[in-house]
Amino acid sequence: MTFGLLLALASVGLSLIYGTTGLSNFAHGEQVTFGVASAFAAVTAGAPLILAAVIAVIAGGAFGWLQDTFLWSQLRKLRVKPMQQMIVSIGLALMLVNLLQIWMGAERVRLSTSIEERIQFGPVSIGPQTMISMAVCVVVLAGVGFFLQRTRLGRATRAVSDNPALASATGISVNRVIRIVWIMSGSLAALGGVLLALYENTSDFSAGSRILLLMFAAVTLGGLGLNRTGFSS
């Protein structure tokens, strides 16, 4: 249950991007790892774990903004088809995983060296840190659902997902919505990466790429993209 919640949090951005752009982003796993790398750099510099997680979320959003600004928006302007953009994302993933290895090193890293006490619930043993991670996942996923269903920007996002041309004709800035989705996707992936690293007690430069197929399976099971009632995963 814990891993499923963490996987949903890490992969929901993948579904949002597909819903608004039609892109199956094979570099999404590296966005997850980027969150781990950012948090590890902050912890190494002396930041508390909570502050390191916040820094990772902000850095992940900035990373998503950079990607869309300098790569994906340019490809959209050139009217590059989603299938060709997917191939670009594969190349980007290969480049990023090597850059992350240079940044993090080849050895496995830990965000926290403390050993949490376990609480017994019948046959189930769980730590307070894991319960907090599960609560964070539930709150954040519920927040994303509320954003998509109840806010003006969320409704605009769903409109872009349904029909970008019609959304643009009604005055919605499609590029602005997609840019915000990329920022959200980067932040959510980074947070998911941090919580996954804490759940597994360790992580490395290939953490995101190892769960990429599981993330695709998660969003495919829920239904790729967005629908009229919310988000798929």
Q: What is the pLDDT of residues 144-173, one digit of tens each?
A: 999 999 999 999 999 999 999 999 999 999
Locate tokens 């190494």: which residue? Answer: 44
Q: How confident is the model at residue 228 (pLDDT cuts 50, 70, 90)?
A: very low
Q: Residue 224: pLDDT above 80?
A: no
Amino acid at 143: G
Structure-derived torsion over alpha carbons of residues 103, 107, 113, 116, reported in degrees to the nearest 10: 110
Q: What is the DSSP letter of 124?
A: E
Give me 200's structure tokens. 């597994």
Q: Residue 227: pLDDT above 70?
A: no
Domain ranges in the chain are 2-112+127-231
Average pLDDT over residues 45-57: 96
Instruction: Kindly give the interhelix angle for 2-21 and 28-44, rounded to the nearest 10 degrees.
Output: 120
Average pLDDT, the chain: 92
Q: How confident is the model at residue 230 (pLDDT cuts 50, 70, 90)?
A: very low
Q: What is the pLDDT of residues 4-16, one digit of tens each?
A: 999 999 999 999 9
